[in-house]
Chain A
């Protein structure tokens, strides 16, 4: 059974870069799209972007200039980098698996990791 685990600093200073890792266990990252989604406190879900195992990416247009998502097949890990963070980037960050062909749906999710942006 595939499981996802997000990890990274829980506190990031304003203007710095947020860096998170998602470790995939129980299966390979090949042949899937791997997504990052976030949820600010008390708010809805926001898709940040995804990466394939070959490194192909797609990003939310509203965040595209600040987001970088990558995959490391040797470690079965995905990573998220979000630059120039502000308090508005405070959120729970989730990684999720999605099929690489229609119908695209996110069937496996990590438990999420909370990131607070504060000095």
Chain B
């Protein structure tokens, strides 16, 4: 099974900060990597797919990069509505999620 490890597990940041979350796969997954945002009490929302592609409607301050085993989600300027938990997910084999990264207000 492919394991997904996110870091950090949580972080505190201020509005306007640049935030970076990393996701590492236990084996190469090419660009079979998605990112989701989940707010408290809500279903997850697709944020990035195929490692770097933004779905329609997702703000351009969100970006994704990486291939193989190492991936990054970047929020260029954190906004109040971005405080949430972020999950990576591999779709190379099965559909495993990372353990999540909680972004909190500093």
A interface with B by C-beta (< 8 Å):
35, 37, 44-47, 50, 58, 60-62, 94, 96, 98, 102-107, 109-112
Contact = CB atoms under 8 A, between A and B. Distances in A.
B66 interface: no
B61 interface: no
Interface of B: 1, 31-32, 34, 36, 38, 42-46, 49-50, 53, 55, 87, 89, 91, 94-100
Nearest to A6: B43
A107 B36 CA distance: 10
A22 B47 CA distance: 23
A104 B36 CA distance: 13
B32 A45 contact: no
Contacts of A94: 43-44
Contacts of A104: 32, 34, 91, 95
Contact of A103 (B36, B45, B91): B91
B45 A109 contact: yes
A61 B46 contact: no
Contacts of B1: 61-62
B43 A45 contact: no
Contact of A50 (B87, B95, B97, B100): B95
